């Protein structure tokens, strides 16, 4: 896996590209000297958690022949000061699924993602506690 980074302007706007040509813009907020032309690196970490676990859950539920008509997630991260850095301390992921999906299978898919499959959350596990919830057809499980 390889990523290349190119600086776009005189501040903190960068264009990152993977080896397949997909581009992501990264920047900092104006209060930190950026121009807000992309997500911050820490926002990308949360996006990585959301994307990784979503792929896991949908893959697991598809194998179980569950029909998902809508899938959304919200991720929030709480950071803590450690020296000069502010790593994530707690991350909360809420999945919102709709469709004729079995409740136990939806809950188990989330559990398997975070306990076994999601490489992003496994990478963060030593320093951040990840909490997750599943809401199926507007009903918290």
Look at residue 15 in the predicted model and tell me its pLDDT.
Answer: 98
Whole-angstrom distance, CA of residue 55 vs CA of residue 140: 21
Look at residue 21 in the predicted model and tell me its pLDDT.
Answer: 97
Residues of the chain with pLDDT under 70: none
Look at residue 92 in the predicted model and tell me its pLDDT.
Answer: 98
Look at residue 58 in the predicted model and tell me its pLDDT.
Answer: 98
Q: Could you read off the pLDDT of 27-58 as tens digits, one per residue?
A: 999 999 999 999 999 999 999 999 999 999 99
Whole-angstrom distance, CA of residue 53 vs CA of residue 111: 10
pTM of this structure: 0.93
All residues at 6 or more sequence positions from 116 whose CB lies less than 8 Å from its CB, including other chains: none
Q: Answer for the pair 89, 62: CB distance below 8 angstroms, yes or no.
A: no
């Amino acid at each position: 896996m390889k990523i290349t980074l190119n600086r776009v302007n005189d501040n903190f706007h960068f264009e990152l590209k993977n080896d397949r040509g997909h581009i992501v813009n990264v920047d900092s907020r104006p209060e930190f000297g950026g121009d807000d032309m992309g997500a911050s690196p820490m926002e990308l970490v949360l996006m990585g958690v959301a994307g990784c676990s979503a792929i896991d859950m949908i893959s697991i539920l598809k194998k179980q022949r569950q029909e998902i008509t809508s899938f959304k997630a919200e991720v929030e991260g709480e950071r803590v000061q450690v020296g000069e850095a502010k790593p994530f301390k707690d991350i909360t992921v809420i999945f919102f699924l709709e469709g004729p999906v079995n409740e136990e299978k939806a809950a188990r898919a989330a559990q398997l993602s975070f306990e076994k499959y999601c490489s992003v959350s496994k990478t963060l596990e030593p320093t951040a506690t990840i909490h997750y919830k599943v809401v199926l057809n507007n009903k918290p499980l």
